[in-house]
Amino acid sequence: MSLIQDIAQSMRPRQWTKNLLVFAAILFAGKAGDMEAVRQVVAGFAAFCLLSGAVYLLNDSLDADRDRLHPQKCNRPIAAGRIPVYEGLLLAVFFGLFGLTVSYFITYGFFITSVLYLLLTTAYTLWLKHVVILDVLAVSLGYVLRAVAGAEAISVEISPWLVICTLLLTLFLAMAKRRSEIVEFEEDAVNHREALREYSPQLLDQMIAVVTASTVVTYCLYTVDTRTLQVVGTQNLVYTVPLVLYGIFRYLYLMHQKKLGGQPDQLLLTDAPLLLTVVLYAATVGVILYFWR
C-alpha cells in the first residue's frame, strides 16, 4: 500500500488540475449536455493524467540527485530512495504507454495530439527546461495541446481564439512562476532551476507586461468576433471580461505584493478570491452558452 501511495505521489495528482483544459472545448462548443461527448472528454482527461504522471516520474528519476539537495524535493519518493531510480524510469514508460493506449481508443486526432504532448513534455524534461525562453514556451504549448486534445476528443474544430488565449494566459502563468522562484530562492535560484540563471525580475516583468496586455486584448476580441457569434450563437461572452480582468489582476497582486505565484496550481486552490473568480467565470460561461442567448 505504501508503494502505491509513493507511486501516486510521484505522479503528482495535485498537478492534474492542469488537465482540466481538456474540458474547455466541450464547454465552448455547447456540447456539455451530450453524454457521449462528455464520456469522450472524461476519458481524455484520464489519458492526460496518465501521460503527465509518466512525465513527472521521468523528471523525478532523472533529477533524483539534484532533488536530494533541495529542502522540499528531497522528500519526493524517488529522491528519498523509497522508489529506486530504475523503477521510476520503468514506471514512467509503463504509464506513458498506458496513457497512449487509452488515447488511441478515443479518436485518432486525440491520439496524435497525445503523442505530440508526450514528445514535447519529454523534450522539456530532457532539454528544453534548461533553455531560456524556450522553457516557458514549451510549458505553454503543453497547455495548448491539452486544449486541442479536448476538441479532438469530440471531433470539433478548435477556435483559433481558444488556442491564442490559452497560449498567452499560460505564458503569463509560466513567467510569473519563474519570477516568483527568482525572488524566493535568490542566490540559490540556479540550484532550483538552471534556466533561472538567464532570467531576472526586470526582464520577466517586461515579458509579463507584454503577455498580460495581449491576453486581455485577445480575449476581448474573441468575445465580440463574428466567428464567435457564428459558433456559440451569442456575443454575451463579453460580460465575462470583468471576471478575466479581475483574475489576472488578482494573480499579479498575489505575485508582487504577497510574493506568491511559484505554485500556480496550489495558489488557485488556496486563494479564495481567485478560486471564486474561476468558479464564477465557468458558471457565467455556462449560463451564457446554454441558457442566455
Q: Cα separation of 55 and 74, whole Å?
A: 18
Residue 230: the pLDDT is 82
65-104: per-residue pLDDT in tens?
888 877 778 888 999 889 999 999 999 999 999 999 999 9
Q: Are residues 115 and 35 in the same domain?
A: yes
* Amino acid occupying residue 52: S
* Amino acid occupying residue 169: L
The residue from 158, 174, 196 where one domain ends is 158
Q: Is a pLDDT exceeding 90 seen at residue 265?
A: no
Q: Cα separation of 136 and 71, whole Å?
A: 24
Quick one: which of 100, 116, 82, 66 has its CA closest to 10? 82
How many percent of the chain have pLDDT more than 70? 98
Q: Is a pLDDT exceeding 90 seen at residue 141?
A: yes
Q: Is a pLDDT exceeding 70 seen at residue 200?
A: yes
Full-model pTM: 0.90
Q: Are residues 123 and 12 in the same domain?
A: yes
- The domain tally of the chain equals 2
Give the H or E element holding residue 107: none
Band of pLDDT at residue 232, cut at 50, 70 and 90: confident
Q: Are residues 176 and 289 in the same domain?
A: yes
Q: Cα separation of 140 and 160, whole Å?
A: 15
Q: Are residues 50 and 184 in the same domain?
A: no
Q: If DSSP states are collapsed to H, E and C, what string results for 52-91?
A: HHHHHHHHHHHCHHHHCCCCCHHHCCCCCCCCCHHHHHHH
What DSSP character marks residue 293? -
Residue 289, C-alpha cell as written in the block: 452558452
The whole-chain average pLDDT of the chain stands at 91
Q: Are residues 239 and 170 in the same domain?
A: yes
- Domain carrying residue 272: 159-293
Residue 279 class from Cβ within 10 Å (0-12 exposed, 13-18 middle, 19+ buried)? exposed
Q: Cα separation of 284 and 10, whole Å?
A: 35
The residue from 110, 131, 158 where one domain ends is 158
Q: Are residues 98 and 163 in the same domain?
A: no
Q: Are residues 84 and 214 in the same domain?
A: no
Q: Are residues 199 and 121 in the same domain?
A: no
The residue from 135, 158, 181 where one domain ends is 158
Q: Are residues 168 and 114 in the same domain?
A: no
Quick one: which of 93, 60, 92 has its CA closest to 79? 60
Q: Are residues 138 and 189 in the same domain?
A: no
Residue 197: the pLDDT is 87
Whether the Cβ atoms of residue 147 and residue 21 lie closer than 8 Å to each other: yes
- Read off the CATH number of the domain in which 145 is found: 1.10.357.140
Q: Are residues 78 and 9 in the same domain?
A: yes
Q: Are residues 208 and 103 in the same domain?
A: no
Residues 6+ apart with CB under 8 A from 198: 132
